[in-house]
Structures are given as structure tokens and as C-alpha cells.
Structure 1
């Protein structure tokens, strides 16, 4: 059984980073556990905020940063559909 991907809002991500800053005595693991997210997710969001002047870039559903990303998404869908057909 595959795990469904959770989509968090931009505000939730920014609030998470602020929570981490407000409680420097907590470890990153403790912060992630308190917020119900993975440690790697918290680390990724921290890096995104650091690299984007205290903001998190958000790509809406169906919007791609480049034509390459759009093509990759199309190919992934095509591969998934082919795998599903083989499973049947």
C-alpha cells in the first residue's frame, strides 16, 4: 500500500519554520514530532526559506517552473499508466 502525499499550505510551512525559531532549545527531531511532520521535511523547508529570502516557493497544481519539469511530470504519468496496465 502506498502512502499518500500530504500537501501543506505555504502558511503552514512558514509557521513551522517560525515555531522552530521560537523554540531553539528543542531539537529538530522534537520540533518535527510536535508538528506531525518528518525531520527531512522540516530540514527541506528550512533550506528553502534560507535560500529564498525568508519565503517558500510554491508551485500550484498544474504549474511548472520550467518546460523540463512539465515534461518530467508527463513522462512520470505515462510510466505510471503503463505500469498500471501491466499490473492488470
Structure 2
């Protein structure tokens, strides 16, 4: 919701993209996996912080 408010109503999303080679597809997949892992880690850190208070 906040993404749409800051981007004039447009919500960016992760798509498959147009990749020229298998290695570019693999790099994109790994970058997505890394971002997802970092997002999950941030959520877990916040949850631990809340539970410790």
C-alpha cells in the first residue's frame, strides 16, 4: 500500500523479465532469492525485538 502511495499509484512487482541467456536467468533468480531471504531475515529480527521487550 505504501509503495503505491509513493509511486503515484503504481506498485512495482517482481516479474520474470526478459533475459538473453540461461546465466542471466540464473542470476536474476539468485538475486530474487537473496532479496526474499533478506526480507525474511528483517521480519525475524523485528519479531525477536518485539518478543524481547
Q: TM-score, normalising length from structure 1?
A: 0.30
Q: TM-score, normalising length from structure 2?
A: 0.49
Bigger Cα Rg: 1
Structure having the higher helix fraction is: 2
